[in-house]
Amino acid sequence: MTTRGWIEIAAFVLVMVVLVRPLGRYLWHVFERERPPAVRALGWLERALLRGGGLVDARGQSAREYGGAVLAFGFVGVIVTHALLRLQSLLPPDPGHAAVPPLLAFDTAVSFTTNTNWQAYAGESTMSYGAQMLALTWQNFVSAATGFGVMLAFARGLTRRADDDATVGNFWVDLVRALVYVLLPLSLAFALVLVSQGVIQCFAPPLQLATLEPGTQTIALGPVASQEAIKLIGVNGGGFFNANSAHPFENPTPLSDFLQCVAILLLPAALTHTYGCMTGNPRQGWVLLVAMTLLLLAGVAAVYAAEAAGNPAAALPGVAAGPNLEGKEVRFGLAGSALFATITTDASCGAVNGMHDSFTPLGGLVLLLDIMLGEVVFGGVGVGLVGMLVLALLTVFVAGLMVGRTPEYLGKKIEPREMKLAMLYLLTVPLVLLVLAAIAAVGPWGTAPLGNAGPHGLSEILYAYASASGNNGSAFAGLAADTPFYDLTLALAMLVGRFALVVPVLAIAASMRRKTPVPPGPGTLPTDGGSFLAVLLAVVLVVGALTFFPVLCLGPIVEHFTVAAGRFF
């Protein structure tokens, strides 16, 4: 660990936090107030898309209608994306590529529609430029915009005062505004910044050249920057190339790497302030941001320290002791690698600038745990904040039990119905994750594709299902996941992690929407202060970490101790 490394990490947090207030307020205005004057020039595009969708007078939807729209849009998204991948031999601008095989196309369509961006293929050898642009870039945009919608509907349910119409906004309007006023302009600007650093953007076929030492090299090219920008801003994570953000054409310099880190957390962080504005008390949002930032920093420090301690496999006589550099790039340095890995697993991004499979047992443990916390430490665009808010409801409920008062959040009473739905939300993912991982661990269908033996093999399985059900998308990539068993079970985990969670979330929104706020009493736990923060952190860690502690003991923890004792597998 170096001083410069720590300064880099501190600089990142500073930049991120400074951007929260202006961007959070901007988002609040875009979705809940008048469009800011600076972007009114884009109004024609919003109107054109809404008119084209047949939504001339879009009215507010109930939570049920809103949820129906989210599910319908996801359903159509899977089908269209699947069709595009199957038909990639016909797609411009570079027709002639073999169609993506059916199961892989299904897995990939689900993966990109659910904002997971799990990749059971290598981009440069499987996907044509047409498929990357049409199917994948498109879903990068709209799956992130959908996340905005889920968060907005949930927050409106919590914050709006009870009245007759009980609406939580209109999904189609939220979707279009997220695209027109947020994702498209940000991505356009960020893509050009990335090109300036050396990210490529062209439609030329792979380049063949004679190398300096006699020989040839064929270099994959493509429209990378346009996909790269939304991959990070939309917290998607699906790379153009197999090596993702470790590939020099996706992430060429330490500066591009730093900006990619900022881009991943930009919207999830800003949305905490948007939420604060929606509640009428920005401190409600700041508390959540502080909780997320503390958990992030703890993770970064742990990963940084674990990787600095070195790779046990490299502890050989005649090799100088040093940090673990297997699966890392020189230009990012150890701090840049630890920072990116923690951010991408905390946020449900899944882009990688180093190979998580080759991290030390404890470094890999932290990354796995980041995902297993439920993708609530920033998490995906919108959906991460929703997860944190569900845990906030659980927190006030637990605190209410301790003092024997009916818990309330933002003045609205939390009753058994909301708690049952919250528990449904919190238990669904662990259940699916652990059951599927158990099935994979007991037979050749799950163990034959593993890239590593011993406890690390179990970690590969766990990571795959955690990543899929958490809609993260990164991998312990030694697992050769394009088999019928993994394509189908991981697709199931991704669908549950996205769409099955939308249902309880919007059901909570519906029932909270109908409640009338009561003024705070002496037994009310204020949810904008330090004691709430402390209990919230405890709840996040207990719920997330304890659920998975037994199975983590069998994977990374046992690996740590066996390899320290000199045992390799």
Of residues 531 through 560, those in contact with another protein by CB under 8 A are: 559
Site string for another protein, 317-356 (x = CB under 8 A): -xxxxxxxxxxxxxxxxx-x---------------xxxx-
Of residues 48 through 87, those in contact with another protein by CB under 8 A are: 49, 52-55, 65, 68-69, 72-73, 75-77, 80
User: Taking the complex as a whole, how short is the minimal distance between the CB of residue 281 and another protein, in angstroms?
Assistant: 34
DSSP H or E run through 219: strand 216-219
Closest CA to 160 of 435, 517, 506: 517
Rg, the chain, Cα only: 23
**What is d(CA 170, CA 280) in angstroms, rounded to the nearest whole number?**
21
Q: Does 176 bind another protein (CB under 8 A)?
A: yes
State the distance between the two ends of the chain, measured CA to CA, in whole angstroms: 29
Stretch that binds another protein, among 98-106, 206-214, 396-404, 504-512 (CB under 8 A): 206-214
Of residues 114 through 173, those in contact with another protein by CB under 8 A are: 122, 124-125, 133-135, 137-138, 140-142, 172
Q: Does 438 bind another protein (CB under 8 A)?
A: no
**What is d(CA 356, CA 372) in angstroms, rounded to the nearest whole number?**
15
Closest CA to 147 of 198, 183, 197, 120: 183
Closer Cβ to another protein, 247 or 273, answer by number:
247
Please identify which residue in 212, 280, 521, 550 interacts with another protein, judged by CB under 8 A. Answer: 212
Please identify which residue in 109, 150, 155, 179 interacts with another protein, judged by CB under 8 A. Answer: 179
Q: Given its phi and psi angles, is residue 299 left (phi above 0), alpha (psi -120 to 50 degrees) or beta?
A: alpha
| Torsional sign, CA 509, 510, 513, 514 | negative
Instruction: Quote the Cα angle for 104-109-113, to 5°.
Output: 150
Q: What SS3 class is residue 541?
A: helix
**What is d(CA 458, CA 446) in angstroms, rounded to the nearest whole number?**
10
Q: Does 294 bind another protein (CB under 8 A)?
A: no
Of residues 378 through 437, those in contact with another protein by CB under 8 A are: none
Closer Cβ to another protein, 208 or 280, answer by number:
208
Closer Cβ to another protein, 419 or 554, answer by number:
554
Q: Does 310 bind another protein (CB under 8 A)?
A: yes
Closer Cβ to another protein, 110 or 376, answer by number:
110
Closer Cβ to another protein, 341 or 393, answer by number:
341
Q: Does 43 bind another protein (CB under 8 A)?
A: no
| Cβ–Cβ < 8 Å for 226, 191 | yes
User: Taking the complex as a whole, how short is the minimal distance between the CB of residue 458 and another protein, in angstroms?
Assistant: 11
User: Taking the complex as a whole, how short is the minimal distance between the CB of residue 432 and another protein, in angstroms?
Assistant: 25
Residue found by looking up tokens 């880190």 in the block: 261
Q: Tell me the C-alpha to C-alpha distance, in Å, between residue 294 and each of 219, 357, 451, 470.
A: 41, 25, 34, 20
Closer Cβ to another protein, 59 or 420, answer by number:
59
Of residues 466 through 525, those in contact with another protein by CB under 8 A are: 476-478
User: Taking the complex as a whole, how short is the minimal distance between the CB of residue 254 and another protein, in angstroms?
Assistant: 3
Closer Cβ to another protein, 444 or 566, answer by number:
566
**What is d(CA 260, CA 20) in angstroms, rounded to the nearest whole number?**
16
Q: E strands of 415-520, at which residues? A: none
Of residues 223 through 282, those in contact with another protein by CB under 8 A are: 223, 225-227, 229-230, 241-243, 246-249, 252-255, 257-258
